[in-house]
Copies of this chain bind each other. A is one copy, B any other.
Amino acid sequence: MLTEHDFASQKRRADVVARRLADRHTPLIRNAWYVAAKGDEITRRLMARTLLGVSVLLYRTEAGEPVALHNRCCHRSFPLSEGKLEGDTVVCRYHGLRYDAMGSCIAIPSQSQSPGKIGVRRYITMERGPLVWIWMGDPALSESTPLPHPEWLGHPDWDIEIGYVNVKGSYVHLHENLLDLSHLSFLHETTFGTPEYAAAPIETKIEGDDIQVWRHVPCVLPPLYAKPLGWEGMRAIRHSGSQFVSPGLHVNSGVFENLDLPKEQQSPPPMVKVAQIITPECQDRVHYYYAFCRNFVRGNPEVGAFMIKGFTAAFNEDVYALEKISDMHAQEDASQFYEIDIAADRAGLQMRRHLKTLADRETAEVSGVAPHFGKVPGAE
C-alpha cells in the first residue's frame, strides 16, 4: 500500500512532466487543417457547425463550391445560418444584411448607401474525395501547410465507409487513445480486441512529428475481420499500426497475414486503413469521423455494412471511455489529479509534447481566441 509520502512525491514528478504535455486545458491548435464536414453534408441548405469553438456557416455555391463563413452577422451577432441562401449570397434573417460567398456584406436594406468594407471571416476550404477540409488559423500559413488528406482516402482502389459520432471529451485524449492500442483487449474486449493484443510487443517509430506505433499480433482475428475474409478459426498475424498525422487526423492500419493459407493466395495482403478524423468542436467536444477503407471483398455492400457497424460499435466504446474520463475531471478534487505514464504511452506522450509545442507557439505569436492575422493569399 502506498503512503501519502509516495503520492505526494509522485504528484510532484508527474506535475513536472505534465507541464510539457497537451491536455484537456491546452488551447486548441488553430494553424492546422481540419475536416469541416463530409462533402455530402454541405449542400444548398445553410448549415451551422461549431469548429474550434467558432460557429461556422457551411453551404455550397450554385457552382458547387463549398463556402465556410463565420456564422455571425457582423451587425448584431445573429446566426447567419438562420437566414436565407439566395444565389450565392446569404441574407441575415434579422435585418436583412446580405453577404457574398467571400463574406463581404454587399447590401443593407435599410440604407441606400453602400455598406462599406464590412463583413465576416471567410475560412479557406479544400474539398478532397468525400471530405471538405477547413483552415481556421492564420491565412498566411495555409499555403505552406500541406493538406493531410491521404491519397487512399476516396481512391477508387479502396472501398470506403464513413461513420460519425460527437464526442464529449478532449481531442487530445482521443488522439492518445488511438496511439495506445493496448486498450483493445479491455475496452474493446467484445468488439475488435483480442486477448493477445494487450501484451504484444510495441514498436514505436518517432521521427519528428511522424509518430507511429506498430504491433504484430499472432491471433485468431476477431469476427469483424475474420468473417468478411473467410478466416474464421484460422491462425493469423495482425499487423496493426497507429499513426498521428496532424492535430486533425490519425491513421490506423491493419495488414492481415494468414498462417494457415499459402502466401500466394494473399497478394496483395488484405488491408484496412481507417482515417480517424478528429475535429475539435470546442475545448471539450470533438466531431469524430471515421473513414474506414478496405482493399478486400470490394463492391460488396453487405460486407461494408457489416464492417462499419462493427467499427461504430467499437468506436462508441472509445466515446464512452472519453466521456467517463470527462466526468471524472468534473469532480471537485480534479485539480489534484495527476496521471502516471506507462511504457505503452511512449508514442502518446510524444504526440502530446508535439501538440503542446504547437499550442505554445501559437499563444506566443498572438493573443486572443481567434488569432487570424495577415492576408489571405490570392484572395481580395
Contact = CB atoms under 8 A, between A and B. Distances in A.
Interface in A314-352: 321, 324-325, 327-329, 331-333, 335-337, 339-344
Nearest to A181: B110
Interface in A1-20: 1-8, 10
A199 B54 contact: no
Interface stretch (A95-103, A158-166, A254-262): A95-103
Contacts of A10: 118
Interface stretch (A38-46, A182-190, A234-242): A182-190
A7 to B, nearest CB: 7
Q: How many chain copies does the complex carry? A: 3
Given A182-B96, A186-B91, A198-B110, A339 B75 contact: yes
A111 B341 CA distance: 12
Contacts of A343: 108, 110-111, 113
Contacts of A341: 75
Given A110-B202, A328-B55, A342-B110, A372 B7 contact: yes
A121 interface: yes
Contacts of A344: 95, 108, 110-111
Given A5-B373, A5-B375, A78-B321, 11 more contacts: A1-B379, A4-B139, A4-B373, A10-B118, A53-B332, A95-B187, A97-B342, A111-B343, A115-B342, A333-B369, A335-B369
17 contacts: A2-B103, A2-B119, A4-B375, A7-B372, A53-B333, A55-B331, A74-B340, A78-B328, A93-B187, A94-B187, A95-B187, A96-B182, A109-B185, A109-B186, A110-B202, A110-B344, A118-B340
Interface of A: 1-8, 10, 50, 53-55, 72, 74-79, 82, 91-97, 102-104, 108-113, 115, 117-119, 121-122, 138-139, 173, 176, 180, 182-183, 185-187, 198-199, 202, 282-283, 321, 324-325, 327-329, 331-333, 335-337, 339-344, 368-370, 372-376, 379-380
